[in-house]
Amino acid sequence: METILIASDHAGFELKEALMPFLRDMGYEVKDFGAYEFNADDDYPDFMAPLAREISESGGVKQGIIIGGSGQGEAIVANRFRHVRAVVFNGQYHPEHAEAGRHVPLEVKTAREHNDANVLSLGARFLSKEEAEAAVKTFLTIPFSEGENHVRRLKKLDEIKM
């Protein structure tokens, strides 16, 4: 059984608690990095860094879901770690709601296919539970395309010295 790592701060705590049973129902084991209780004074780096470190140490093979108010700060923390490719999702218009003639790609799908994103950062203040579940399902079921150009670009990311 594949393990999915998950973490949140206070702003994402309720959504994290709702997503854990959803992930288990999808057949995943869940490793929770906290927050383990609601504390309005907690700081997101305290939870995101340990999760990102584990993904980094796996060479980017493991996957994680991090949740905060907007998902932005959480992704910033995660992306400081080598082999971590965090993408933020805090809601998006569906293509049928786009301006006339404008194509709106599904960013979670694209992030998986093109960037082999291994961390999904959710903005709990912008998403319903159902929207978050749909994003998580997409994130976990869409494979990396393995396209030559995408592989080349990821190799270049791994070569950047920090």
Catalytic residues: 74, 114
As a whole number of angstroms, the longest Cα–Cα distance in the chain is 46
How big is the chain, counted in residues?
162
Enumerate the H helices of 5-105 as residue ranges. 13-25, 45-57, 72-78
How many helices and strands, by DSSP H and E, does the chain display?
6, 5
> CA 153, CA 158: separation in Å to the nearest integer?
9
Backbone conformation region of residue 101, classed left if phi is above 0, alpha if psi is from -120 to 50, else beta: left
Q: Is 76 helix (H, G, I), strand (E, B) or coil?
A: helix
Q: Which helix (H) or strand (E) holds 30?
A: strand 29-32
> CA 42, CA 44: separation in Å to the nearest integer?
7
